[in-house]
Amino acid sequence: MSGVEKILVHVRVNGEPREALVEPRTLLVELLREHFNLTGTHIGCDTTYCGACTVLLNGRTTKSCTMFAPMAEGGEIITVEGLSKDGELHPVQQAFAECHGLQCGFCTPGLLLSTVHLLSKTRKPSEKEIRKGIAGNTCRCTGYQNILKAVRAAAAEMGKS
Amino acid sequence: MSQVPNARVEAVYFSSAGGETAVSSCLSAPIAIECARTTTNDFCRSPTADTRHPKRQAENIVYAHPFSYHRAGSLLEASELLQQLGEEARLIAGGQSLIPLMKMRMVRPSALVDINFIPGLSEIRCSDGQLRFGALARHADIEESDAASSIPIVQDCAAGIADVQVRNQGTIGGSLAEADPSGDWGAVLLTLETSVRCSRPSGERTIALDDFFKDAYTTVLGHDELISEIIVKQPAKNSAGAYLAFKRSAPVYATASAAVQLTLGDSDTCKDVRIVLGCVGLTAIRAKEAEKTLREKKLEKKRIDSAVEAVRAAAEPQDDMRGSADYKRVLIAALVKRAIGIAARRARGEQVEAGHEYVGR
């Protein structure tokens, strides 16, 4: 369509090596959704605001709508699909379910990964650290109280082991 | 990292209404996206959606104009690529400002030179009384570094830029080179003795930050030139600063921001001070008159009040969706007043929290 040379991008997604030949302007979120059919990562605002497209890239959260796919070359990506293991929910997913930390669920994949990232850095986050940790994720349903509850519950559960 | 033509910038800067995006000082996302969609039709849609998912042709993903992609392995290769690819090529670092601008078609580079794969460009080092940030040091790296925690104003800034995700990608070099009027690092680093090391095919040069910004989105960097390192002189023991940025929510740019670095002398006199105002002009503004009313004077209410009055006069805010010019003038004055107070308390050795302020923090 554009006459621009396509680029072969290699990444590991949820532990699996994947590759795709894409136009350089392909966004990471679309690489995941359209090329790898991993549609758990959502596109919300598409303007670097809402955080619905948050994934882990090399252990750090990033808004996948704000990265061109070739920039992720060689990267280790974890999406929401990579959180549960052998049919068991990740403790953060479990906590969101139990605390009603979601309503429509659109923002949830991003919030889950932001929470995983927060708890990987801070085992026992303070209230302030929790708020700061999820400040880049917008939820339009819950009013955040149950999300905060879920993050606290996940921290407590993961702190046990 | 080079410049956006001024005419375009002004059109962007002064056309403000409606919503906001994390992109830039005064951009209006809904209008810009609508404009991009209606003027460029299918270019704005996903390059793959049309062929792979015919039923989803109307999916509204916002797409950058096509560009060729070049990965640089060294500083020299990056600047040579810029030289070869010409004026329409652009450098990409963290991409947290450039990608949104490209998606909204505010900028349409024909080629991108990616410097993220250049090794050793994100180091943060402390040596000989200097703090040295590699151009690719991410805001999150700076936030967590021991080196930066020794300068409170740097910590205030790094820890509050946008949100975790943006801080994980955005870089200090990219922020300075973009020269957004609402960028945080420009205002903060202008209060310190900062220089910028730059690299181009013909060699290196070091530029004082005071001489670095020319206009909104415009620096003195040549087209084939890029920042390699930012060097900050460690302030004296009796010197401390504070950065206060007031914003609506975490991911957006501030409505106004104040950076103050203050050196205390004997018996609570202000030996030296730098006051820089962010988001209230085409570049960060050094409030020199306000500094003059405090320098070599005792820090008392009357003096601070007249400094704040001078700040109000120095600000050149524009009306936009974040507030009217009048509102921003009141806001910047209040922020400077508080920042002076916090900087003075910190200079006396107190631990005081400061940084970006927004609802729900």
Model pLDDT for residues B246-297, shown as the tens digit of each residue: 999 999 999 999 999 999 998 889 999 999 999 999 999 999 999 999 999 9
A151 & A97 share domain: yes
Comparing B54 with A78, which gets the higher pLDDT?
A: A78
Angle at B278 between CA B276 and CA B284, to 5 degrees: 65
Name the pTM for this structure.
Answer: 0.90
Residues of B in contact with A43 (CB under 8 A): 61
| Cβ of residue B27 closer than 8 Å to a chain A Cβ | no
Check whether B61 has a pLDDT greater than 90. Answer: no
d(CA B149, CA B258): 19
Residues B95, A51: C-beta atoms closer than 8 Å: no
Tell me which of 3.30.465.10, 1.10.630.10, 1.10.3720.10, 3.30.1370.60 is the CATH number of domain B124-233. Answer: 3.30.465.10
CA distance B50 to chain A (A): 10
In a domain, A62, yes or no: yes
d(CA A41, CA A33): 7
Residues of A in contact with B140 (CB under 8 A): 60
Buried b (16+ CB within 10 A) or exposed e, B286-317: bbeebbebbbebebeeeebeebbebbeebbeb
Q: Which of A7, A132, A136 sits opposite B166 (nearest CB)?
A: A136
Q: Using pLDDT thresholds of 50, 70 and 90, give the confidence band for residue A3.
A: confident
A74 & A103 share domain: no
Pairing of strands B68-71, B111-114: parallel
What CATH number belongs to B6-47+65-114?
Answer: 3.30.43.10
Nearest chain B residue to A64 by CA distance is: B165
SS (H, E, C) B143-212: HHCHHHHCCHHHHHHHCCCCCHHHHHHCEHHHHHHHCCCCCHHHHHHHCCCEEEEEEECCEEEEEEHHHC
Which residues span the domain enclosing A99? 91-160
One-letter identity of residue B86: G
Residue B122 carries which DSSP code?
T
pLDDT in tens, A49-73: 999 999 999 999 999 999 999 999 9
ipTM given for this complex: 0.97
What is the pLDDT averaged over residues B82-86?
Answer: 97
Q: Where in chain B is the domain with CATH 3.30.465.10?
A: 124-233
Preferred mutation among B163, B171, B361 to probe A, highest tally of A CBs within 10 A: B163
Instruction: Answer whether B163's CB lies under 8 Å from B249's CB.
Output: no
A15 & A73 share domain: yes
Preferred mutation among A71, A119, A121, A151 to probe B, highest tally of B CBs within 10 A: A71
Alpha carbon of A27 to those of A70, B51, B91: distances in Å? 9, 17, 17
Residues of A in contact with B360 (CB under 8 A): 131, 135, 144
Alpha carbon of A63 to those of A114, B30, B80, B201: distances in Å? 10, 19, 30, 33
A147 & A119 share domain: yes
Give the residue carrying structure tokens 């500094």.
B291
Q: What is the CATH number of the domain that holds A40?
A: 3.10.20.30
CA distance A147 to chain B (A): 14
d(CA A114, CA B83): 40
pLDDT in tens, B182-214: 999 999 999 999 999 999 999 999 999 999 999
Mean pLDDT of all residues in chain B? 87
Q: What is the CATH number of the domain that holds A127?
A: 1.10.150.120
Helix (H) or strand (E) holding B31, with range, is: helix B29-40
Tell me which of 3.40.50.880, 3.40.50.1370, 3.40.50.2000, 3.30.390.50 is the CATH number of domain B255-351. Answer: 3.30.390.50
**What is residue B37's predicted lDDT score, i.e. its pLDDT?**
40
A76 & A95 share domain: no
- If DSSP codes are grouped into helix, strand and coil, which group holds residue B141? helix
Q: How many structural domains compose chain A?
A: 2
Pairing of strands B111-114, B89-92: parallel
Q: Which residues pair with B196 in a beta bridge?
A: B207, B230
Nearest chain B residue to A127 by CA distance is: B361
Contacts of B38 (CB under 8 A, 6+ apart): none
Residues of B in contact with A133 (CB under 8 A): 164
Residues A136, B21: C-beta atoms closer than 8 Å: no
- Kindly tell me the burial class for residue A47, based on how many C-beta atoms sit within 10 Å of its own C-beta (0-12, 13-18, 19 or more): buried
